[in-house]
Structure 1
């Protein structure tokens, strides 16, 4: 693996490269989501099997981070990023050529494995160089860049379905992965100096993870991340089936509805960016919890009161995304703050909680309920309640 001769990057370059790396994950979800009902029809299967293509992706995404992070602590962020995004490109091509649902599952698994580098390494790159409010500001910039892809991808996916098949979507994903590889090879610099690298030994890796999971200052923020992303990916798995199959929206109309989600996340990140140097991270988390509470109540009530209204569903979705924008950079920074010596492992484990939450959210949404609408009005309020309970426990712990 090659080494970069120059160590360290500016805040802007770190944010741009980290944001584009992280954006690959949502690209593989939001570009693909309008095609889920079509894929179900093409393979003559059921909705649960279609949703499982998301679950397989999440499972690989979550587990691979536990390998990616420690490898980057040993070999550096840049070289491991290049290796993992090459794996992502291979998985995208497998998906593009998939003749059966089983091969599509395989392609999604390989994709998830490779794309895990985006979350784990972008956070480690920030932690290598920045702390405190500066880290929150950069992670907020990463989130802002991240929102561009989900804003464009559903519309692009819908256009692809108008003019071609869902297989072309995976070709587009492969092209994005190749662009990331070029960026990593030509524009990125290593952020972890050789003298700060740690041996890659199974016992050392396990000891590092044991240190993290036994530290309440890590676990509680990581749990908040996991729960908020469980809600996000729960409704991500459900909305195509509610809007397209049940309510009769076209894929393009679905993409237009999803702009509410993207606009809310962009707005939240802009507000957090403006506030991050003026208020504490705890204050940002408090705002997030209030938004999630209102969103959970909205999911419980509005879809039942107005069963044919898109707004009745997208209003609580928008509030959830606002809350996600407030909690994500603050909780990530809090979880990693005391673990700079093992930033790769800490970034990987926060990513595991985040993507693991997405895995659980999409799995429960796809398998535990008789239909998508029931899942939406039960699962999302329950997730909001659990999130508030975890936050309350954390505050009582800190007072004690």
Structure 2
């Protein structure tokens, strides 16, 4: 059954010819008549792009995860309820997700570097406000602005890769960025907890402040502008809507983007339900839960390392069938384990670990493929991909909350999201193949 699934995915991949932006639905004529970027090598080296992209992409998850250990303490510090403290996390997510839809086009219109600097300065200012927030209302405002400032990381980190690299090199850099996405959230809660215990909750924001200052200095010194198609017309409402409409209705973009969106969205969904399943149903203590989550983060990191070594010998797209097959097997195992047997740590976390490993194997190739055909709107394409990831995670979390039963939620929702991710990739692959055949015969 696994080999059949692998074969089906391989067929879908092999049927995809290189994407021509001129064939994009409704592509404006001015877009196809612009001159190509200047000939020559990349503006920044592969190593510099990898490290800069990893540092930028980490600011979002680190800012979220550093803060979570302090949430119970903040309720007492501000004399407010837990629901108000949870609102600070919701405010951060809202600012982070929604602003990506604006941040990406801003980098297409004004350039990657100046927009990155502006958003990082906003992040720095809002972190200062959070550090000295006198009331919960000030904290909510500060966290919202932090999310807005941090949103630049995801959009720009992928766009600077697309601006300079394609193919196997692009996939290698995306693999490094994906590893940082795993390491940041894995280590940040531990660092936040130790900081809270040794110093206090305000010092957690001092840590964010230090990271922000270092990132601004690195951006100022090391970041060279990579966007060869800077055009302020990208901010006109009509052009903005046209660009997003082009992306949403083009299967060459949506095929890999939905796989990435539902895949990473499943990570966010699991984060919202695993504490309740492992602590309330399995019986772990909070500290045991923290160590237990290393199965997921460790599996993801292992997957990125294995993928990095494998890409030295084979094309990244050849790893995708194995990654997608692993995701289907993991979803089936989680569904079967919790349906047939009482919940246990291994019954939950072994499938979750397999899923994380398989997702890490899949991400570099599909992330690179999604951005490949849109050099003139790479910022918008990267931002929309980030929004789809958060949107899928938010949708999954809301469905589980509506079910009112965490155990039922983890049985139904994460496996369904993974099945949808793989099915959408295969179905849109067929659409791409038919469309390419029609263009070829025409």
Fold shared per TM-score above 0.5? yes
1:75–1:326 CA distance, 2 compared to 1 (3 A): same
| 2:257/2:367 contact within 8 Å kept | yes
Shift of 1:73: 1.5
- Return 149-158 or 223-232, whichever deviates more: 149-158
Q: Which residue of 192, 197, 210 maps to 2:230?
A: 197
Q: Which residue of 229, 232, 236 maps to 2:264?
A: 229
| 2:80/2:136 contact within 8 Å kept | no
| 1:82/1:184 contact within 8 Å kept | yes
State the match for 1:330 in structure 2.
365
Give the alignment's Cα RMSD to 1 decimal.
2.7
Q: Which residue of 283, 291, 310 maps to 2:345?
A: 310
Local SS of the residue matching 2:403: coil
2:145 paired with 1:110: yes
State the match for 2:424 in structure 1.
390
1:372–1:56 CA distance, 2 compared to 1 (3 A): farther
Write the distance in 1 (CA, Å) between the matches of 2:55 and 2:92: 19
Shift of 1:389: 2.1
Q: Which residue of 319, 335, 350 maps to 2:385?
A: 350
Q: How does 1:283-294 map to 2 (within 5 A)?
A: 283-294=318-329
Shift of 1:273: 1.6
Could you give the per-residue CA deviations for residues 187-218 of structure 1, whole angstroms, max 9, x where no partner exists?
A: 2222224xx31113332222222222221101
Shift of 1:380: 1.0
State the match for 2:53 in structure 1.
18
5+ residue gaps in structure 1? 1-6
Local SS of the residue matching 2:151: helix
Write the distance in 2 (CA, Å) between the matches of 1:41 and 1:243: 26
| 1:60/1:112 contact within 8 Å kept | yes
Shift of 1:296: 1.8
2:408 paired with 1:374: yes
1:59–1:284 CA distance, 2 compared to 1 (3 A): farther
Could you give the per-residue CA deviations for residues 77-126 of structure 1, whole angstroms, max 9, x where no partner exists?
A: 11111111222233334444456555444333222211111111011111
Write the distance in 1 (CA, Å) between the matches of 2:192 and 2:279: 14
Write the distance in 2 (CA, Å) between the matches of 1:20 and 1:13: 11
| 2:266/2:393 contact within 8 Å kept | yes
Write the distance in 2 (CA, Å) between the matches of 1:32 and 1:371: 26
Q: Which residue of 131, 143, 150 maps to 2:178?
A: 143
Q: How many corresponding residue pairs?
A: 389
1:204–1:292 CA distance, 2 compared to 1 (3 A): same
1:102–1:223 CA distance, 2 compared to 1 (3 A): farther
2:216 paired with 1:181: yes
Write the distance in 2 (CA, Å) between the matches of 1:66 and 1:183: 25
1:364–1:99 CA distance, 2 compared to 1 (3 A): farther
From the CA coordinates, give the structure whose radius of gyration is larger.
Answer: 2
Q: How does 1:89-108 map to 2 (within 5 A)?
A: 89-98=124-133, 102-108=137-143
The two structures have a TM-score, normalised by structure 2, of: 0.79
Write the distance in 2 (CA, Å) between the matches of 1:51 and 1:110: 16
2:90 paired with 1:60: no
Q: Which residue of 215, 238, 262 maps to 2:273?
A: 238
